[in-house]
Every structure is written in C-alpha cells, then in structure tokens.
Structure 1
Amino acid sequence: MWGKVLGALFGLALLKLPGLILGVLLGHLADQWFARKFADWRGLAAMSGSDDEQALFMYSTFAVMGHLAKATGIVTKAHIEQANLFMQQLGLSARQQREAQAAFRDGKAVNFPLRAQVNEFYYCYRRRPDVLQLFLEIQLSIACTGGKMVAGQRELLWQIADILQIPRATLEQLLRAYQARSGSQPTEHTSTEQRLVAAYQVLGCDSTVTDLQLKRAYRKLMAQHHPDKLMSQGVPAAMLDVAKRRSQDIQAAYEVIKQYRAKNH
C-alpha cells in the first residue's frame, strides 16, 4: 500500500497529474515486489510471532546491511562473516539464517530499491523513534566492518538517517559510540584516560557534564534500549539481544565514569 501512496505523492509533486498516474503504477509494482519478498520470510516471521510488521523489520535489516556492504565496491569475506556472526548472535535457526542471507543478497543487487525499502520501514515505525534509532545502530555493525568506513557507506547512512528523520548529528554521535564500544575492551595496556574517553563517547557526553547531566544521559539511553519497551513497540524478539548488549555497554560505561569521579572528586 505504501508504495502506491508514496509513488502518487512524489509523482504529483514532480509531474502533476501524469506523474500521479505514473507514481501509482510504479508504487503498485514496488508493493508487489515487497509482498513477494515478505512471503518468503515465513521462518523469520514465525519466530517473530507471524507479524508482518516484524517480518518487515527483519527483512529490512539484512537487506540494507547487504546494500551497505556493497557500497564499498565489493562485498568482502569480512562483510559476509560479520553478517553471519550477527545472525548467529541473534540465535537464528539454519533456515532463518538462509532467509537472512537471501535478504542480504537482495540488498547487494544493483537495482535494490533502498529508498523505497527504508521508506516502507519508516512509515511502519514512524511513531516509534527508539525503534528507528535501533535499526540505524544495527546498520553501523556492517558499515564499520574492519574498523573503517568508505565515503559511499557514510553517504548511504546519511540517506538512511534522513529518511528515518534522524538528525545527521545524532548519526555521528551513534557512530562515535559504536566505535568506542567496539574498541573499548580493556587490556593491560589500556590507560584510565582511554577508558574514560571511550565511556563518555558511549554515553554521548563530554567530560565537563555534571553528575546530574551524566545520570540523565545514562537513564535516557537505558530507557531507549530497554528490551521490554522495544518489544512492545514491535521489535522482533531476536533483535532484543542487540538492545540487551547495548544496555550492558551503557551500564559499564556509566560505572567507569562514576568510579573515576568518586575517586577524584
């Protein structure tokens, strides 16, 4: 349905009545394409409670991942391993992993309709900003494969954030937090200063914030990633593990900062 609605609006804006007719036709084709894709996702939909909304979440996640991987010019073995690792972390069965891999391949296709796919996702979850942000956070795992991101991937992330109505400044903060979490596993060579810098980045704060501001930032992030809240907003059960791990990272970062401040204030 949304394909026809969006096509009609864009067509009307660009070419008036002829554009409206053309937009409806193209939107109808897009709706049929999406319907065929979701019909194949019975395994993932069943895992998510046979909910078309949650099937849309799962399909969009892996298809957009594939498109982001392709933006490097070539999908490397590291990209595929990262995607497969993510599937395993979600606890997908063998059948569900095959379906996720099929969505990933769809995303790699030259003619993959990224804007239409993300628009479909946005209109489904547009009143649930925490879900939109979680979706964007998940995409960072494939964009940052190997610890680096090419310009084409950053531009795609900007496009995705724009469609989801997430400010680019928020995207950049999420990227810094993701990079801090990815490299925040302490070793014997990790200094206290390095741990603090990473912890503040995870919480999206700088070291000048007051204790009260720090607590507010912490509570806000914890609320955004609370599994029960996200499940009630339509996030598939399998994806809740992402939110749980994010919550653990937020909790750990907050504890690092609290302990440092307690000792030095």
Structure 2
Amino acid sequence: MWGKILGALFGIALFKLPGLLLGVVVGHLIDQMFQRKLANWEGLQSVFGQDDEQALFMYSSFAAMGHLAKATGVVTKAHISEATHFMQQLGLNAQQQKEAQAAFRDGKAVNFPFRAQITEFYQRYKRRPDVLQLFLEIQLSIACVDGRISAEQHQLLIQVAECLHISRSTLAQLLLAYQAQSRFKQGQATGKEQGPSLLAAYQMLGCTPEIADKELKRAYRKLMSQHHPDKLMAQGVPAAMLEVAKRRTQDIQAAYEQIKQARAKNP
C-alpha cells in the first residue's frame, strides 16, 4: 500500500496527472515485490523462530544453493543429495526442511534475482566480514560436492564474491581449500594416500609444506577464530547454520593435527 501512496505523491509532484497514474503503477509493483519477499521469508521466520535478519540469511543461503545447482541447466542428483544431506546435518525438522526446499526451488527459477538477493544479504551483514565469508563457504560446500565445479558455477561464485565485496584472490584461496578438503576426507576415509592427504591438509589451512611452525600455527588459529560458533552467533548467524562452522572447525583441526604428527615424525 505504501508503495502506491508514495509513488502517487512523487508522480503527481513531478508530472501532475500522468505522473499520478504512473506513480500508482510503479508503487503497486514495489508493493508486490515486498509482499513476495515477505511471503518467502515469513515461512522461514515462523519455523525457525528468528528475526527477519536471520530469516534473510536462511532464505538467501538455500535460494543461492538452488541457483548454483541449476547453473549448468540441469540440477544433478548429486547436488540434490548434497543439499538434502546439508539440511539434515543442520538438524532441520520436517517443516524447516520444507521451507528450506521452497527457498531452494525459488533459486532454481530462471528469473530468480540472484545478484539482487546476494546484494541485499550484503547490505544486512556488510559490517560482519566473517559472516559474509561463511555465506560464501556455504555455497562452496554445495558447488564442490564432488571436489570440482563447472565453469558456470565458478562464474556464479565470482558474482557472489563480488556482491559480498570479497576479493577474487580470497575466493580462489577458499575454493582451493574446499577442493583440498574433499581430497583430505577421501584420504582419511581410505587411509592409503598419506602423501596427497597431507598436501591437502596444508592447502586446507592455506599453507604450503615449506611454512615454518610458527606461521603454520598462526594460520590455524586465524581460521579457528573466523569459524568459532560463539563468535558467529554473536554476529547474527542463525543457530542452525552454526553447524556449518562447527564442522569446518573440526576439519581444520583434523588437518592441523595430521600436519603436526607428520612434522613430529620427520622434524
């Protein structure tokens, strides 16, 4: 309603009667846009018991996942499986999963306003860089479902980073870390590829095997601080999404411990 009223007032002030009609039309479109957004977020807000800021976090996260999954034109079974597994890992109940899936479907739509949605997210969280990076990492975890991403997904991730004002060099480092994380977990699962697994552990920490112990510990502590759940909760991250940070710190710690053990054996 307020969109039509304000549009009419501005229109008549600028263009008199024709402006009045134009202002009402434009205002109506603005009202509809906000009604759609409210409808999208209200579901998440009601089932998660969160304020509108955290509802925006949840909606933007799952909608962006859907958009990334559809980047190549077809949503693969692997991406659907990963998204479902991701929701289950967050401990979402049936109703919460239903709302998250609805956001995921919104993101898959051809006319989904991807850049506008990410930009709006940035405007809410722009003074909290660790939260912005966590959002990007959530998208990387979906894009890197099998350890590699398509060219189309990479372009979308660049758009996400740009909208969040995260540099391409930081995106490249995070992408390398997440691809390394996939290899590291495979190495841990098989227990056979100690060489590649150890290199992946260094890459997860953003380091090389030549790094000094002191610098290695500094890199490890910085990553642990960035992903500390209590710190992120204080910055407005929804409680459900803290599971992402917890799993990330566990992986970082596992990589650091493997490096320390390898260095102890070969000082």
CA distance in 2, matches of 1:195, 1:235: 31
Shift of 1:144: 2.0
CA distance in 2, matches of 1:88, 1:188: 25
Q: Any conservation in 1 of the 2:146–2:182 contact (CA below 8 Å)?
A: no
The residue that corresponds to 1:257 in the other structure is 259
CA distance in 2, matches of 1:239, 1:248: 15
Q: Does 1:196 align with 2:201?
A: no
Q: Any conservation in 1 of the 2:62–2:104 contact (CA below 8 Å)?
A: yes
TM-score scaled to structure 1, two decimals? 0.85
Shift of 1:176: 1.4
Unaligned runs of 5+ in 2: 1-21
Q: Any conservation in 2 of the 1:41–1:55 contact (CA below 8 Å)?
A: yes
Larger Rg over CA atoms: 2
The residue that corresponds to 2:86 in the other structure is 86
Which runs of structure 2 are paired with 1:141-220 in the superposition (5 Å)? 141-185=141-185, 186-188=188-190, 190-220=192-222
- Aligned counterpart for 1:245 among listed residues 240, 244, 247: 247
- Aligned counterpart for 2:230 among listed residues 219, 228, 231: 228
186-195 vs 68-77, which moves further: 186-195
The residue that corresponds to 1:120 in the other structure is 120
Q: Any conservation in 1 of the 2:148–2:179 contact (CA below 8 Å)?
A: no
Q: Does 1:130 align with 2:130?
A: yes
CA distance in 1, matches of 2:242, 2:30: 29
CA distance in 2, matches of 1:202, 1:74: 30
Secondary structure of 2:245's counterpart equals: helix
Secondary structure of 1:142's counterpart equals: helix
The residue that corresponds to 1:53 in the other structure is 53
CA distance in 1, matches of 2:222, 2:26: 41
Q: Any conservation in 2 of the 1:195–1:256 contact (CA below 8 Å)?
A: no
CA distance in 1, matches of 2:72, 2:27: 29
Q: Any conservation in 2 of the 1:38–1:55 contact (CA below 8 Å)?
A: no
Change (3 A) 1:64 1:29: farther
CA distance in 2, matches of 1:114, 1:187: 36
Secondary structure of 1:127's counterpart equals: coil
The number of equivalent residue pairs is 242
Change (3 A) 1:179 1:94: same
Instruction: Name the amino acid aligned to 2:140.
Output: L
CA distance in 1, matches of 2:31, 2:173: 34
Q: What's the % identity of the aligned pairs?
A: 69
TM-score scaled to structure 2, two decimals? 0.84
Unaligned runs of 5+ in 1: 1-21
Shift of 1:170: 1.1
Instruction: Name the amino acid aligned to 1:150.
Output: S
Higher normalized contact order (CA 8 Å, seq sep 6+, divided by chain length) = 1
Shift of 1:29: 4.7
Change (3 A) 1:261 1:50: same
Q: Any conservation in 2 of the 1:59–1:100 contact (CA below 8 Å)?
A: yes
